[in-house]
Amino acid sequence: MSRLTDASSIGQVPEQRPDRPHVVLVMSQATWAELITPALAGRLQAAAEVDLETVLQDFGQPGARPALHAAHILLTGWGAPRIDTDALDLMPALRAIVHAAGTVKTFLSPQVYRRGIQVSSAVEANAIPVAEFTFAAIVFAAKRVGAFAGEYRARRDLSARQTPSLAARAGTNGITVGVVGASRVGCRLLRLLRNLDVRVLVSDPYLSEADATALGASLTGLDELVAGSDIVTLHAPALPETARMIDRDRLAALADGAVLINTARGALVDTDALTAELASGRISAVLDVTDPEPLPPDSPLYELPNVQLTPHIAGSVGNEVPRLLEYAIAEIERLAAGLPLRFPVLAGDLPRMA
């Protein structure tokens, strides 16, 4: 029995009313299966007219046209097809697109905004696990956990904790953390860093000194941040002007023993230059994203002991994924009640989005 349509598992579905918005699900089937829970299914059905069993992955698939013609709101997610002029022509009643994920740049045409359609994203929800992951990575990197674990594995006794090259520099107390980008993730991370006894630098061309101070950081240029930080963590969007911003010269400017953390976009870093620096053993890295992604099977980064590679898991995974839908449903509830979106994505936001 479907967990989505068993009324006994989600409570009595409210009587349908013609004034409720008609919502159409647009994403991959796999995404919908990750997002939905019985409680969220009931909440969505209470807010809108929606067929929980029809998920459009292609606007040309059988049965799509009637659903799209009636759609007031598209609830989109990972795997959504591109929404361009041809697609919009199939949706004369469309008022809003609510995305149960992060960026909308990959599938939204500018025509969406020209037609006055509102857009919302759950990017704020996705920022939560990325900031948490990064905060944990900073603490573990400062504590030299990877290197200590390797020594312990090799020695099989507690003398590993006295390794001179590690013990003298381990810990967060008094270190400098450089945050590149005061994005949603960057700002959330800056607030988390207040829990540590660290000095924090931030670099962002759109951030004022007053705002940086309010976030507990000192505003500085990127070159000064790189040269003056024990740990550098990246949270800038992937834009033409940010491509390989961490280049050979900036990597060379990192202090011996520094750590680079990237949970943003792989394209922010010159991979060849980073590989050379890491192969020298002079610095370390925690990389949740790379360029290319995935790395080639023969990349040295898979084997280097001073590199922690994870398969793009900093964002929402597992039990964090339904939170994206929870944020999206809250937006649909606001629209149904005639309230403004809480997390709108405006046309002017797109150039600076990840």
pLDDT digits (tens, 9 = 90+) for 270-283: 999 999 999 999 99
Crossing angle of helices 321-336 and 123-142, in 10° steps, is 150
Q: Which helix (H) or strand (E) holds 200?
A: strand 199-203
Residue 322, SS3? helix
Q: Is 46 inside any structural domain?
A: yes
Domain check: are 221 and 152 in the same one?
yes
Domain check: are 191 and 173 in the same one?
yes
pLDDT above 90 covers a percentage of the chain that reads 86
Out of 22, 184, 235, 265, pick the active-site residue: 265
Domain check: are 194 and 293 in the same one?
yes
CA distances from 18 to 2, 47, 70, 94, 336 (A): 26, 12, 12, 16, 12
Task: Please tell me the distance from the alpha carbon of residue 169 to that of residue 142, in angstroms, as a whole number.
Answer: 8
| Mean pLDDT confidence for 298-308 | 97
Q: Examine the residue annotation and report whether 265 is marked as an active-site residue of this protein.
A: yes
Residue 317 CB contacts under 8 Å (≥ 6 apart), including other chains? 129
Select from 257, 236, 254, 253 the least CA-distant residue to 245.
236
Write down the pLDDT at residue 7.
Answer: 29
Q: How many structural domains is the chain composed of? A: 2
Q: Is 197 inside any structural domain?
A: yes
Task: Look up residue 313 and give its amino acid.
Answer: I
Residue 300 CB contacts under 8 Å (≥ 6 apart), including other chains? 275, 278, 279
- State the residue for tokens 């006055």: 116
Domain check: are 76 and 93 in the same one?
yes
Domain check: are 90 and 185 in the same one?
no
Q: Is 141 inside any structural domain?
A: yes
Task: Please tell me the distance from the alpha carbon of residue 323 to that of residue 327, in angstroms, as a whole number.
Answer: 6
Q: Is 24 inside any structural domain?
A: yes
Task: Look up residue 339 and give its amino acid.
Answer: L
Q: Is 2 inside any structural domain?
A: no
Assigned token pair, 186:
């960057």
Q: Examine the residue annotation and report whether 22 is marked as an active-site residue of this protein.
A: no
Q: Is 89 inside any structural domain?
A: yes
Q: Is 30 inside any structural domain?
A: yes
Domain check: are 31 and 98 in the same one?
yes
Domain check: are 181 and 246 in the same one?
yes
pTM across the whole model? 0.90
Task: Please tell me the distance from the alpha carbon of residue 110 to that of residue 33, in angstroms, as a whole number.
Answer: 29
Domain check: are 78 and 180 in the same one?
no
Write down the pLDDT at residue 351.
Answer: 77
Residue 17 is part of a domain; what is its CATH number? 3.40.50.720
Domain check: are 112 and 188 in the same one?
no
Domain check: are 279 and 142 in the same one?
yes
pLDDT-based confidence at 233, cuts 50/70/90?
very high
Out of 115, 169, 312, 333, pick the active-site residue: 312
pLDDT-based confidence at 1, cuts 50/70/90?
very low
Select from 240, 108, 236 the least CA-distant residue to 184.
236
Residue 113 CB contacts under 8 Å (≥ 6 apart), including other chains? 119, 346, 347
- State the residue for tokens 């992951």: 133
Out of 114, 155, 161, 293, pick the active-site residue: 293
Domain span including residue 202 = 127-309
| Mean pLDDT confidence for 252-260 | 97
Interval 13-64: pLDDT, tens: 334 444 799 999 999 999 999 999 999 999 999 999 999 999 999 999 998 9
Domain check: are 280 and 333 in the same one?
no
Q: Is 1 inside any structural domain?
A: no
Q: Which helix (H) or strand (E) holds 202?
A: strand 199-203
Write down the pLDDT at residue 168.
Answer: 79
Whole-number average pLDDT of the chain: 93
Domain check: are 195 and 295 in the same one?
yes
pLDDT-based confidence at 210, cuts 50/70/90?
very high
